[in-house]
Structure 1
Amino acid sequence: MARLHSRFLHCLTFVFYTTLISHSSSTLESDFSIIDSDSEVLLFHQDYSPPAPPPPPPHPPSVSCTNDLGGIGSLDSTCKIVADLNLTRDVYIAGKGNFYILPGVRFHCPSLGCSVTVNISGNFSLGEGSTIVTGTFQLGAYNASFYNGSAVNTTGWAGDPPPETSGTPQGLAGAGGGHGGRGASCIVEDGKLPEDVWGGDAYSWSSLQNPWSYGSKGGTTSKEVDYGGGGGGRVKIIIKELLEMNGSLLADGGDGGSKGGGGSGGSIYIKARKMTGSGWISACGGNGFAGGGGGRVSVDIFSRHDEPKIDVYGGISHGCQENAGAAGTLYDALPRSLTVDNHNLASVTETLLLEFPHRPLWTNVYIRNCARATVPLLWSRVQVHGQISLLCRAVLSFGLAHYGSSEFELLAEELLMSDSVIKVYGALRMTVKIFLMWNSKLQIDGGEDVTVATSWLEASNLVVLKGSSVIHSNANLGVHGQGLLNLSGPGDTIQAQRLVLSLFYSINVGPGSILRGPLENASSDAITPKLYCEHQDCPIELLHPPEDCNICRVEDITVEGLIKGSVVHFHRARTVSVWSSGIISASGMGCIGGVGRGNFLYNGIGSGGGHGGKGGLACYNDSCVEGGIPYGHRELPCELGSGSGSGIEGPDDSTAGGGIIVFGSMEHPLSSLSVEGAVRADGESFEGTVWKQEYSVFNDSSIAPGGGSGGTVLLFLHTLTLGESAILSSVGGYGSSKGGGGGGGGRIHFHWSYIPSGDVYQPIARVKGSIHARGGLGRDKSGVGENGTVTGKACPKGLYGTFCVECPAGTYKNVTGSDRSLCHRCPASELPHRAIYIAVRGGNAETPCPYECISDRYDMPHCYTALEELIYTFGGPWLFSLLLVGLLILLALVLSVARTKFVGVDELPGPSPPQHGHQIDHSFPFLESLNEVMETNRAEESQSHIHRMYFMGPNSFSEPWHLSHTPAEEIKEIVYEGAYSIFVDEINAIAAYQWWEGAIYTILSILAYPVAWSWQQWRRRMKLQQLREFVRSEYDHACLRSCRSRALYEGIKVSATSDLMSAFVDFFLGGDEKRADLPPRLPQKFPMAIIFGGDGSYMAPFSLQNDNILASLMSQLVPPTTWYRLVAGLNAQLRLVCRGWLTVTFRPVLQWLGTHANPALRNHGVRIELAWFCSAPGGYCQYGLLVYSVEEENGHISLGNTNGRVRTELHSRISLA
């Protein structure tokens, strides 16, 4: 019946508007747009304009400049008006010249509807302080100038408005006249809203681009006297080139004072190629007891260098300050934009927006500064090419407030709202790219008509709500997009009876923001979704949801605010992140009744609802009633929680169960869920109960229902992260403390999409927070609801529990399931007594169980020591002992033979004739290939070698390595002596030790000599490393004459013996020297000194360092095999030399040189002798060899300074003190 009544009222409204709306229109002149009167224009597709009057008669003959106007000159040349002129009839001024009204002249026609038309081919000017007062002013000229202080004023001088319009209000309410906007009314009838009452209505919507209608007169409050203000006049200015606007163009409505309504604004149309100046253009409503509506202004200017002030706001209402007249319309033809601006005058009176053009589309629509616009049509399409902007307390409404059965389409690039409101009575279909809201509201009233119960908002790029913005619908609402939906902060809300968010790549619910569906405290006419309460089977939409689910097809969802609903479903999402301030809730949003509803005693005390667990008992004295039954599936729950059932006083005294929260679906599980806040589907607690530990406080109500049962949290997902502060709960509600039972716990189920196992196992859940499914509290223990269930998908072998973690070390699981008892203990007989069980990746799925030994001392698999392992490998202790004794005897025999051969000194063969064609001794065939390779590399390195210069000093803390500042004779040709001296200073500075290094060595020598020796060796290695790094990369090689060596940092190389006591510097050619005698051959370097490493101690015996360069040089005369064997034999003899007994221990060395070494070398023309090298008398001395040719053996050898820094004494037999 109610629906039939609303349809009847709607039909009456339909007929009412039909009587007011015209079906054709035309314009006054051919320069303006024409709407074909034969076009098929249906209801609400036109405005309130009546049929246009017949074409006006031809213009009368033009007046003359001198005779009729009292001017000077001619209209065909230049006409100047020099004196005031009062006209009593319409004037038509035409000519081919210029028309000037000089400063201070008043050109007036003070009668209603009087028309002044100026149509000239030249220029027009209105001088400073000059005024034109008339009802209609038309100007056509080439250029026009309106100077400072000048004005064209048609305020209140309007003629009759178009016929069959309702712009002039009826009655004695003193309402304002209407034109571009409705006139205000300060008298509101009983039972009506303020916005349902207005004065004069708007008209001429279809001609707002070329406005040419008079404003309407305001109403009066007296039958005897008409106090209403006159309507605004008409101004049309068409200029071919430049319009200079520094004056005023006024078409305002007249004031009505305190007893009459203000007149509505008139029409102003301006067209020019270019406009300058900062004048004032106004078609505002007049002030009065109720303000008049604004007029209509249209501007078609190609180029603007300044911006004149243009006003079309409504008039001020003295009888109701909060309700000014509605704003008029300002149309800018160049950008095709419409502006409705009420100049921040508060009003509840609206500006009508009717049919929008389709070809071409308008670009922008601006509604701002307290303007209120309405589209009062049954169906409408508001489409613009650019932006719709509502700013500064603007209001835009669609449909009729009391008949929510309309449908509206809104299409634009951008919809921007700031401190504004959009009201929709019916259904809204919005398609934009960007939707921005700041402290604004979008209210959709779907009414009771189910055919228009669904609205959808589509923003392809961006939706942002900020500053407590609200989108509200009491019906179904879908919000779709392809970009970002951002609810920025506190108060930002999207809510509807059924809410669907889809297709965004990201949704961000900021702190304090709310997504809600259904509505909280919904009105009686709201469309209420039906809950699935009386069935135990799962709705197919939860497991296999359609595309229009709650939140679906969204990549990333971030929740810092509140998402609440009866059924909250995240479908086809990738990630959901709930921050510490975020809440996803379905608490108390389930069924009041349901399958597991509670029961009531005769006195209104009820038991708790059941779901995952049974509801708690309700008891009073000795009478008890059972709680609600458990129901649903443990392994795949999908049911709403049950409530207490309806009490004695109806559903208002009942509690509801928890709702359903679903993440993902069977086909599209969630990639990851991260929770730092709360996800709740708790049952509702009775409002009259406040639980505080063991105490309760309740109101005086006799109703005491039980708590609602927990709902369902169903998770289809890959991975889960619960932070320390996270809560995932489906607990039962608290019962009344008068005896009501607590609700049963709900159900939480984790349906893992993929559980990795074995070697690829990774944890699928990181849980640090709380997961609850407990029952709600009752009056006592018997009233506590049973706990619900927390389950997970069956785990593969090796894993157990809700989150499929690895079975503990020492257990194995070889079946599928999640129970902890399926992890069986490993057999104790398979574990060695020195072993412990270890955890393996993916858990242990079979026996034997993995283990490890308790210490690294023991070896797997039996955890034996190495000796035990060896003993048991050879058959046990007895057999191993016999084998060990035999092995020792065999080893003793082998070592005896080896010692005999090692101590023998016949290491070198006697003299033998050289073999032709080979330089490699084939007595060592296994070294042939190695020698060939080494011979090649060393030959390449030795080709550029010039000289080896040894460091002085043993590299000790007291006597570090150092070089002489005088270069050797061999390198003087390749170095600069000055730069060489600097090089030596830098080398000696690096080689020197700090005092503390020696001090540490001294202290350690007293306390622990081995540590002191290790300290000394470490510091020696560090010095050698520093020297090498300095020569290799830090020194610029400035001492070398070779440009190539200086550029490539080559030509100098530092090396040392293995005992770090003897070091030397090798000099090489750079390759760019142009001398044929460089580098010298080995015989040219004779006699050549070779310094031993070591000092004859146990830790550092004497030794000959046979490096690559030395071996390469000697290979020029001596076969490498012979030289290697000589070095080996000499080092064997030198190891027996002891410091302190040098005289005795060097004698065998001298004998070996004479009997074995030199005879072998003589065949190659080389001889070696033992030598003693001292840097200075009484200084540190070094031992080594002196190599020279056989031809020099009988000659006198002068070795005053053979190596460039030392004095050498040569003896065939050396006497050592």
Structure 2
Amino acid sequence: MSMFLLQLLKDQYLQGGGISKGPGFPGENGTVTGRACPKGLYGTFCKECPLGTYKNVTGSSKSLCFPCPSAELPRRAVYTSVRGGAAETPCPYICVSDRYRMPHCYTALEELIYTFGGPWLFGLLLSGLLILLALVLSVARMKFAGTDELPGPAPTQQGSQIDHSFPFLESLNEVLETNRAEESHGHVHRMYFMGPNTFSEPWHLPHTPAEQITEIVYEDAFNRFVDEINTLAAYQWWEGSIYSILCILAYPLAWSWQQWRRRKKLQRLREFVRSEYDHSCLRSCRSRALYEGLKVTATPDLMLGYLDFFLGGDEKRPDLPPRLRQRFPMSLIFGGDGSYMAPFSLHSDSVLTSLMSQAVQPWIWHRLVAGLNAQLRLVRRGNLKATFLPVLNWLETHADPALGVNGVRVDLAWFQATALGYCQLGLVVYTVEGEPVTAELDGSPRIKIEQHSLVQDMLADAQLSRSRIKDVFMRKRITGGILDSTTLRTLIDRRDFLYPFSLILHNSKPVGHQDLVGLVISILLLADFSLVLLTFLQLYSYSMADVLLVLFVLPLAILSPFPAGINALFSHGPRRSAGLARVYALWNITSLVNVVVALICGFVHYKSSTKRHPSTQPWNLGTDESGWWLFPTGLMLLKCIQARLVDWHVGNLEIQDQAVYSKDPNIFWQS
């Protein structure tokens, strides 16, 4: 071994040289003369050039190790040493993390973007592709879902609802209309269920029979019937537990679960009253024998239920059923609760329409209900005191002058406060004291109102009538009171954990241009899905844990708006499309939680990256990593814009006639 080292020294170093006294004399001790080092090495012992330098010539001087060009070093890269040193440019380097890919140290998202020419060109190509796909989607939507059901035929001036556009079906329409008339003719009273039909506060009937039905029911048997109904209307504990869990994980699923259980509960109540209960609470022998006289119904939103009482036909009472004016003051309770999914509405079925036709022409009543429901759509729970004021003004300027022709007036009122503080809102219909106010009517369904004089007369008469309403409420055992601009301030308005979302998502007036709004929604829907995928690519460059965190908090909510939106756009019929569009809006607003989680993950990654690599090209690293907020912020902005467009889309579907929002009563009644 020693001989090998000696031979190596002889090969590498000259035996002569160094500082000497003259020719032929040996050099001084401690000095050697070496050979010239090859590329990449320098010094007497030919060491590798320092990190970040290269040497492409032979020689031993350190000055031959030149600095590597900084422009050739990619972002998120550091120089690395190699055996034999750096002999050429670019100098050897590695990425600062395994999640970046050579040779440019790009993330998966950046590789995709720069493959198509960089951010600007990629953005233009993506925008063009989205517009093209949206146009294709709109054409397919018009062909697939273009046969939307049209609104039903408007009732004629005489109140008939027969559709004469199909003569061969006229006889069938007449039979159906006759059955409805017979049913409404024997109607005695409508008893509303108390409670909003939720898992915490289900429907329940009061045990004390109303004054209107004391003559046709046995009170003891009626109390037993109410006990059975209330038992059936109550929900099981596990139904509410599932709802609570779904509220935390995915609120749209919780809403669907609640509606499904409500529908099942209504079917069970109907089946019990129709075929299981022996109707022993009714005095009519015919009703008990035929299992008739009671009927359970609910509004389309399944939040308001009511029990109708009918005569059996063998009572032989000339005062039954009572005429409309004998029922005054009559309460008409709104369905819904003012939320986005269940706005307030007045449901006017055949029984109510037939009753009101005794005092008001049917076309006036139908128009009034349409206008009132259009105003009630804009009322928001959590802000009832402010949003109910336009409804009060509308009743004063549009409804009461038209009804005053027949000496009838309606007022906003509250009814049936429960033990948990829930009270139902609706209208109270009563007779105005004094002579009926005249208005000009012509032969067509039109009404012309002299607004100032008529409103003043109605207000003067209403002051006299309102003073007596409270006494009548007490006599008829009606719990409630009239709401005006003063008493409205005392209305209890509860706000739940979903109230902040109502600031973004709420019912609004229609804007028209339905096809254009649908096209823009299609573009935004595709853009939303594209940004979601790009956000996942960005999160994948951070870590797989970030992807899973955003994906499952809340579970799959960030992916659900796209299929929900496609389902809503391709559904048949305005009513079904509006319902599915609301579900799509719920998923869209729920996914904001996932977007916030993505923002938090990006911020944490940005802070940890700047601490981990503080000296590694901070001007490049900081600029690159500071874009963590771009895609999540763009996604959040896109979802907020979608929320407003979906509100307009739902408004266009639910409100076919924009004249219902006219501030001029004459335009409203003449349209």
TM-score bracket for this pair, using the shorter chain length: 0.3 to 0.5
Tell me the TM-score normalised to structure 1 length. 0.24
Q: Which is strand-richer, 1 or 2?
A: 1
Q: Which is helix-richer, 1 or 2?
A: 2
Larger radius of gyration: 1
Tell me the TM-score normalised to structure 2 length. 0.43
Higher relative contact order (CA 8 A, sep 6+): 2
